[in-house]
Structure 1
Amino acid sequence: MKLTIAALGLLIATGAPAATVVTAAHLFDPVKGLTLDNPIIVVDDKGRVQSLVTGNNARPNIPADAKRIDLGDVTILPGLIDMHVHLTADPTLSGYQGLEYTDNFWTVVGVANAKKTLEAGFTTVRNVGSSNYDDVAIKQAIEHGYVAGPRIMPATYAIGATGGHCNSTEFPPSVKVDSPNIANSPEGFRALVRTLRKYGAEVIKVCMTGGVLSKTDSVGAQQLSYEEIKAIVDEAHMLGLRVAIHAHGTAGINDGLRAGVDTIEHASLADDESFKLAKAHGAWFTMDIYDDDYILAEGAKNGVFAESLAKEKAVGLKQRQTFRAAHAAGVKLIFGTDAGVYPNGLNARQFAKMVEWGMTPVEAIRAATSEAAIALNRADDVGQLTPGHYADIVAVSGDPTRDVRLLEKPTWVLKGGQVVTAPGR
């Protein structure tokens, strides 16, 4: 029998049945880069894809008691992946405004943002920096069914040097701020990597250069030495963790690549040497090229420091030009938004910018599905809809390979076989 919209709500409350069959008019396969007609996806009781067939003559093996969800004239595709989010951030509380709230307030903000992110079609995210191990707490709450949210790969604290982008630079010496994420030597950073892993980090995030939203540093200045970043990379890789570095400036990007980092976040001032190093080392660029629009339009109202607005004006356009040049040079680019710098839940607004600055819609979607899964080191369970992968599905009312902005308004979302949103939401 077909599942009614009312019954979809029951699935949320009671969990997936023994098997669920999802059908639709079309399916976009990011690995093949093709849109296929009449997909039939059988989801097992573990929330994984049991089988996928397409075409009018498809005859899958469907259990007799399987529930059926017919989505009608839509295109479905794998659940989306955002490789750079900050779930515990609210951009409308920028600058000094955050000091008005207790520390645990931000955990609650993260719970709300996790739900928004999932409903937006992002079923997996990499959270690259939060205080107090908040992202680990939210991940655990999601996995145990207390709250709704995407699959989270947490970094816990983003680590950096004294006075750097990941340090609190907006206070005078008389204001003491706890800084468990700061070190100033190769051995100090090795110890930090071990500590973060101990408490739940699944990726290590490093502030390699200055940033936009930190108050006093230069956006492009290198803040860790080659010896320090090499120690971080060696320690993380030995422990089975990948390394993402926040890096706007050229020197910091290139030293990070020489040290073997896995992803460069922002990459605003990368040059031809950066492109060569990235390709030689197999690294990915994660470039948040929508942020500039939001920061310049809303930042002053939201309390962003004047110094930060000046830095964004200096670097925003250059970052987009670098994105286009990196794409043309064949650098691997994956989808990462820095959500939290603009509102979580609006992650998909970046797709149109990626297309505007050089990608095809197919490439942009692949950057947020199959390619992101590889960079996440989870290509065996997310990023595509083949047997064994999680049944993470997003539906849109049209062809996203022709209009990528359709991804901004998904009509239906499934995560691990569990219905997130029903048609007509």
Structure 2
Amino acid sequence: MRKIILSGIALLFSICAFAQKTYIHAGKLVDVRNQKVLIEQTIVIEGEKIVSVSAGYQNPGSEDSTIDLKGSTVMPGLMDMHVHIEGETSPTRYIDGFRENEADVAFKSIHFAEKTIMAGFTTVRDLGGSGVNISLRNAINSGKVIGPRIYTAGKSIAPTGGHADPTNGMKRDLMGDPGPDDGVINGPYEARKAVRQQVKYGADLIKVTATGGVLSVARDGSAPQFAQDELDAVVQTANDFGIMVAAHAHGDEGMQRAINAGVTSIEHGTMMSEETMDLMIEKGGWLVPTVTAGMSAAAYGEIPGYYPPVVAEKARRIGPQIQATFGKAYEKGVKIAFGTDAGVFPHGENYREFIYMTEVGMPNLEAIKSATLTNAIFLGIEDKLGTLEAGKLADIIAVSGNPEQDITVMKDVVFVMKEGKVIKQ
């Protein structure tokens, strides 16, 4: 019996020693840590992890497989820190909520998730939906659905009548009086309950709408919407759970309240003053600029009937300001996390953010770093993702052309691998 056991152990070790590996031959490879493009590299993958990255085209073993990307530029899987995976912009968006069931939203979200990962984004942060986003995350994690790794806020938290109050624009008998269970709060006690409720539902983080918004059917798009004690209660409660808080904010006063409360990130930051930029640097906060959303909303606002009139006016006025503000914040030294607000524009067009970022001064490879290593640091997962290095999960993409010379090639994703599994080739 002892000999049989020892023979079995020896066989097991023998099988492990000759486990099949995948060799990727990369014509160019983006070293995001050092912001350099390396030539003729080999990435060796075993299971879900990278085991080595080396110069030259290494020869695989007889049991191994090879992926030829000699004509492409290879880089880590991209990360978008602001998407809305449940929906997508449409002229019918404001009535779809009265016609669609939760199942309809769920089936659409599967399509949007696939578009996202096929565009090279293997990790996203979903910042607000109905709760379908939580189920979608679970379905992707269990392998039932193809899509990016999702960190989700579940339902955004708003004050009554604020951006993310789901009953804005309805007639009074449909408005009702949504409360903390629906992500609508008034006062610090309800703020605590709303955070705990989202955690109970399965949220990975919390999102608050610290100011008015552009696309909600509400008059104001920039004024502060929470009192300081309400924001303090949200952040303190989230901190107790060990999760971050993202704050949607266009207006400056609302941003300052959110930063002073201790939020991790400001989303959009459209009208951010230099004083607020200094405060962000002092407090260590991050800006997720979502320039693509602002530019897209402004363009849609010019199309007659695309948005309700109250939304169209805000979109035309507020949207175009985001790019310039991002440029000033970047130059001043505010920490930047790549995020687009995909869903405000079609999913799969997330690459447009690279173009807008580089137009106002961010170098091409630094923009790519913001969507890879920087975002991994932002999420606290840099030990697993963000670079192509031994021991990291094999989230790998490739594009045609050289993004160091032409950032627009980021739209031409020809290969996607997530955790060692080829999604697109």
TM-score by length of 1: 0.91
8 Å CA contact 1:90, 1:109 repeated in 2 = no
Q: 1:325 aligns with which of 321, 325, 328?
A: 328
Matched, 1:50 2:47: no
Instruction: Name the SS of the counterpart of 2:413 in structure 1.
Output: coil
Partner residue, 2:162:
164
Q: Distance in 1 between matches of 2:298 and 2:95?
A: 18
Per-residue deviation, 1:328: 1.1
Aligned with 2:158: secondary structure?
A: coil
The yes-or-no answer on 1:238 pairing with 2:237 is no
Matched, 1:415 2:413: no
Where 2:402 maps in the other structure, the secondary structure is: coil
Given candidates 219, 222, 234, the residue that maps to 2:221 is 219
Structure 2 CA distance for partners of 1:44 and 1:287, relative to 1, 3 Å: same
Contact 2:86/2:109, CA 8 A, preserved across alignment: yes
Aligned match of 1:174: 173
Secondary structure in 2 matching 1:292: helix
Secondary structure of the residue aligned to 1:91 is coil
Judging changes above 3 Å, is the alpha-carbon distance between structure 1 residues 297 and 316 closer, same or farther for their aligned structure 2 residues? closer
In the TM superposition, what is the alpha-carbon distance from 1:36 to its structure 2 partner?
Answer: 0.9
Distance 2:219 2:248 in 1: 14
1:146 to 134, 144, 147: 144
Cα deviation, 1:237-257, whole Å, max 9, x if unaligned, reads: 221101100010101101111
- How far did 1:188 drift? 1.3
Q: Check conservation: 2:291, 2:353, Cα contact below 8 A.
A: yes
Which blocks of at least 5 consecutive residues in structure 2 are unaligned?
1-18
Q: Deviations over 1:216-271 (max 9, x none)?
A: 23111101111111111111122110110001010110111111110100100111
| 1:419 aligned counterpart, secondary structure | strand
**What residue in structure 1 maps to residue 4 of structure 2?**
none
- Counterpart in 1 of 2:192? 190
Q: Check whether the contact 2:298–2:317 (CA below 8 A) recurs between aligned residues.
A: no
Tell me, in whole angstroms, the C-alpha distance in 1 between the residues paired with 2:132 and 2:305.
Answer: 23
Structure 1 residue 63, shift from structure 2 partner: 5.9
Q: Name the SS of the counterpart of 1:323 in structure 2.
A: helix
| Residue 316 of structure 2: aligned partner | 313
Q: Is the 8 A contact 2:82 2:341 kept in 1?
A: yes
| Cα pair 2:219 2:310 within 8 Å, conserved | no
- With structure 2 as the length reference, what TM-score do the two structures score? 0.91
In structure 2, the residue matched to 1:260 is 262
Alpha-carbon distance, 1:399 to partner: 1.0
Note the C-alpha offset of 1:87. 0.6
Could you say which structure has the larger radius of gyration? 2
Gaps of 5+ in 1: 1-16
Retained in 2: the 8 A contact 1:49–1:390? yes
Paired position in structure 1 for 2:27 = 25
Paired position in structure 2 for 1:86: 84
Whether 2:204 is the aligned partner of 1:205: answer: no
Q: Partners in 2 of 1:209 and 1:105 — Cα distance?
A: 30
The answer on whether the counterparts of 1:96 and 1:303 sit within 8 Å (CA) in structure 2 is: no
Contact 2:214 2:315 in 1 (8 A): yes
> What is the aligned-residue RMSD (CA, Å)?
1.7
1:176 deviates by 3.5
Question: Could you tell me how far apart the structure 2 residues matched to 1:142 and 1:103 are?
Answer: 18
**Distance in 1 of aligned mates of 2:72 and 2:306:** 41
Aligned pair count reads 401
Structure 2 equivalent of residue 71 of structure 1 = 69
Matches within 5 A, 1:72-151: 72-92=70-90, 93-131=92-130, 133-151=131-149
Compared with structure 1, are the counterparts of its residues 121 and 302 closer, same or farther at alpha carbon in structure 2 (3 Å cutoff)? farther
Q: Is 2:287 the partner of 1:289? A: no
Q: Which amino acid aligns with 2:209?
A: C
Contact 1:254/1:273, CA 8 A, preserved across alignment = no
Once the two structures are superposed, what CA deviation does each residue of 1:351-376 show, in whole Å capped at 9, x if it has no partner? 10111122111121111111111112
For 1:302 and 1:337, the matched residues in 2 are separated by 24
Task: Kindly state the Cα deviation for residue 64 of structure 1 after the two structures are TM-superposed.
Answer: 5.3
Q: CA deviation at 1:301?
A: 6.0
Does residue 334 of the first structure (1) align with residue 341 of the second (2)? Answer: no
Partner SS, residue 74 of structure 1: strand
Work out whether residues 91 and 302 of structure 1, in 8 Å CA contact, stay in contact via their aligned partners in 2: no
Letter in 1 for 2:310: E
Alignment of 1:4-15 (within 5 A): none
- 1:106 Cα offset (Å): 1.1
